[in-house]
Amino acid sequence: MNMTDIFPEIQVGEALTHSGLAVFPLYVDSRGGVDYQVAAAALASGQVSVEEVDSAGQVPFLRVTNSGDTRVFFMEGEELVGGKQNRAVNTSVLAGSNSSIRIPVSCVEERRWHFGGFNRDSDAPSEEMVSELNCFSPEVRLSLRESVSESLLRKQGHSSAQGELWDEIKKEQDDLKVSSSTRAMKDTYESYRARLEEFKASLKYPGEAVGMVGVVDGELVSFDLFDRESTCASFWERLVSSYTLSRLKKRALALAGSLDEEFDLPDIEGFIEASRKADWRTHEAVGEGVEYRAKTEDGMEGFALQFDGKLVHGSLLAAK
């Protein structure tokens, strides 16, 4: 499978920049025709519920029940808070209408396995999961994608290397001096809420974009393309926050200059073109659609989810 059969022609917009972070909006001429809601909206409206698979629970799975007449989209790395422990989605999922499915997830919290987590809108324990509007930083997300891709090649489904993810989250918190009794990813975002709000305010969704590229100190870290403007707008701030964590980690480790440092912008078109030469393999998707994955010679990890021949979500993650 060639990338040209998966991704439409892409136009790269003018960079939005703030304190060593650049975000390039992406545009396409055509729009997708898949009918769905994003998970955060569907959870808020009650159309979808996300719970433990049963009373005992299983760490690597959650139950998604969609009682609505439209599909629901979960993005890879999206954090779900509550249940017996906080999780993140292992791969992008299109949950069918009027369906109940198990989705593969990874734990993003240690030292808790009981109902008693707290969602962002309530002080009450939450047995049902809510979207915390966070997602993995590019470094943690790369670790997730690599392990899930390797699992698929071994015919073991969309499972992750849980220990490696815990190590990545712990390293991130250590680098950023975050204190968390349960090593919860959510606490990393809470600890840096003010700085994240600063970056989000300076790098606002520009309108009409259907994707974005994150560049940290001149290094391209992440590319995400969706099928419509509303989906991109929904995930824009989450992805900006994830890039910001990368920038703040570099600064904390003295791997970057001052937060006002200028930098050269990377060759985004070349990055995209390099992925076209990769061997894209087909995999059975979780939920509806078809999934594609690829790895380039320099370690770039590619992913795409299509439904009925239309791209729903495509992504490229640069090697560390």
For 180, the enclosing helix (H) or strand (E) is: none
Q: What is the pLDDT of residues 242-278, one digit of tens each?
A: 999 999 998 887 655 555 556 667 888 888 888 888 8
> Quick check: 51 pLDDT over 80?
yes
pTM to 2 decimal places: 0.92
Query: Any idea which residue has 């259907």 for tokens?
Result: 210
> Quick check: 123 pLDDT over 50?
no
Q: What is the pLDDT of residues 132-176, one digit of tens each?
A: 788 999 999 999 999 999 999 999 999 999 999 999 999 999 999
- Percent of the chain past pLDDT 70, that is, above it, reads 91
Section 59-63 average pLDDT: 96
Helices of type H across 176-267: 185-191, 193-202, 229-252
Q: Supply the pLDDT for residue 2.
A: 56
311 confidence band (pLDDT: 50, 70, 90): very high
Q: Supply the pLDDT for residue 1.
A: 55
Question: In whole angstroms, what separates CA 225 from the centre of its chain?
Answer: 12
- Rounded Cα–Cα distance for residues 121 and 129 (Å): 12
Domains in the chain: how many in total?
Answer: 1
Q: What is the pLDDT of residues 171-208, one digit of tens each?
A: 999 999 999 888 899 999 999 999 999 999 999 999 99
Mean pLDDT lowest for which of 237-246, 269-278, 284-293?
269-278
Residue 130 pairs with which residues in a beta bridge? 81
Residue 81 pairs with which residues in a beta bridge? 130
Phi/psi of residue 23, nearest 5 degrees? -125, 125
Q: Supply the pLDDT for residue 260.
A: 52
Q: Supply the pLDDT for residue 297.
A: 81
The span from the first CA to the last CA of the chain, in angstroms, equals 25
Section 103-132 average pLDDT: 72
Q: What is the pLDDT of residues 16-48, one digit of tens each?
A: 999 989 999 999 987 767 899 999 999 999 999
Query: Could you tell me the two tokens for 193?
Result: 């809420």
Phi/psi of residue 187, nearest 5 degrees? -70, -30
Length of the chain: 320
> Quick check: 122 pLDDT over 50?
no
Cβ neighbors of 15 (< 8 A, separation 6 or more) are 22, 23, 24, 215, 265
Query: Any idea which residue has 């937060």 for tokens?
Result: 259
The DSSP symbol for 198 reads: H
Domain that holds residue 296: 3-317
- Rounded Cα–Cα distance for residues 190 and 99 (Å): 34
Mean pLDDT lowest for which of 21-35, 48-62, 228-242?
21-35
